[in-house]
Amino acid sequence: SSFLLVFLRDIILCDVLQVLFQAQKELLNYSGSGISVLEMSHRSSDFNKIINKTENLLRELLNIPDNYKVMFLQGGGSGQFSGVPLNLIGLKEDRCADYIVTGTWSAKAAKEAEKYGKVNVVHPKLDSYTKIPDPSSWTLNPSASYVYYCCNETVHGVEYNFTPETNGVVLVSDMSSNFLSRPVDVSKFGLIFAGAQKNVGCAGVTVVIVREDLLGHALKECPIVLDYKVQAEMNSLYNTPPCFSIYIMGLVLEWIKNNGGSAAMETLNKQKSAMIYDIISASNGFYACPVETACRSRMNVPFRVGKKEGDDALEKEFLEGASKRGMISLKGHRSVGGIRASLYNAVTVEDTAALAGYMREFLKEHQ
């Protein structure tokens, strides 16, 4: 009967809860080893299998070409705000980098890069992060070491639905909050990085995918744990990596694979985000999303309640009602206020329908 139970559970749990059950099942005794991944040496053969499995799954899911290295590093997305310039701004003598600044996260990355070279923001400063300036208005520097952008601005809900054209200059993207939410052509990039904690796992590990020929240009002051060449050559094992987070990422990637890969995630994410944006659009201004339609994020939907600038009392009531219905973490980032619905891969269509239903109900009651 335990076989039947496991079988039934696997049918019922097609959502990402499967991953947590698997981790729970293996927590005390990983694959017959008698110990937990939490206790395992990062030099053990069991962990070696785990990190290789995780890398291979990632290569398969993103179709990563062979001339790219994959690393699992610490320091978070913010660590890479420094890692990118420390490793790449020296690619050309001028030490210049182009930044497209469309929200909090690319602004922070640009600020960090200024410590290591010249940063050129390629468009006039935006007064609000609600759009992507038209590429025809960008002044890209042909002798820049790289062009940097954040593919999905998590706080402001601004997402690129195109890949910037850089005329041959190395392209770098922070995909922390939309990683594996849709397919991506890795070959167009010099480097992609993503903290795991949104779409592919838990906090503690950051994926860096980098084209091999860009390695070996780190500034001499680059901390060795952030030196891509060192970490790539040592299979991310220069020092102790975040073993458990890498293991969890492997389980999540397996789940993504079993559920149709990045293309299937994209279909679901389109469907989910449309459910929320449609309600906003049809609400006659009761719900308001400040972001221009063409770059509205499928991952993070920011909106105000009551009126365009938001009605604090109504928003408070909205959040309380949501919480009573088991919907949490809907409060907008403290820097922008309002509401933010994050619809990462782990959020199901059913979860999204519950939010949509609540939004309709709230609208009817207060309009």
Q: Given the rule CB under 6 A, which residues bind ligand PMP?
A: 76-78, 105, 150, 154, 174, 176-177, 195
105 catalytic residue (yes or no): yes
Q: Minimum Å distance from CB 129 to ligand PMP?
A: 12
Closer Cβ to ligand PMP, 92 or 340, answer by number: 340
Kindly name the residue from 69, 92, 98, 105 that is annotated as catalytic.
Answer: 105
Catalytic pick among 69, 198, 255, 272: 198
* CB closer to ligand PMP out of 176 and 245: 176
Which residue's CB is nearer to ligand PMP, number 47 or number 105? 105
The DSSP bridge partners found for residue 303 are: 339
Nearer of residues 77 and 250 to ligand PMP, judged by Cβ: 77
**CB 353 to ligand PMP: min, Å:** 25
CB 68, min distance to ligand PMP, A? 20
Q: How far is the CB of 166 from ligand PMP (least distance, A)?
A: 20
| Residue 198 is a catalytic residue | yes
Judged on CB neighbours under 10 Å (0-12, 13-18, 19+), 44 is middle
The residue among 231 and 245 lying less far from ligand PMP, judged by its C-beta, is 245
Closest CB to ligand PMP among 54 and 154? 154
- Give the shortest CB-150-to-ligand PMP separation in angstroms: 5
Residue 195 vs 310, nearer CB to ligand PMP: 195
Could you give the CA distance from residue 79 to residue 254 in angstroms, rounded to a whole number? Answer: 26
Q: Catalytic pick from 69, 92, 98, 174?
A: 174
> How are beta strands 96-99 and 191-195 bridged, if at all?
unpaired
What burial class does residue 8 get, using C-beta atoms within 10 Å of its C-beta: 0-12 exposed, 13-18 middle, 19+ buried?
exposed
The minimum distance between CB 204 and ligand PMP, in angstroms, equals 9
Give the integer Cα–Cα distance in Å for 37 and 248.
10
Closest separation in Å from C-beta 79 to ligand PMP: 6
Residue 138 is among the residues annotated as catalytic for this protein = no
Positions marked active-site: 105, 174, 198
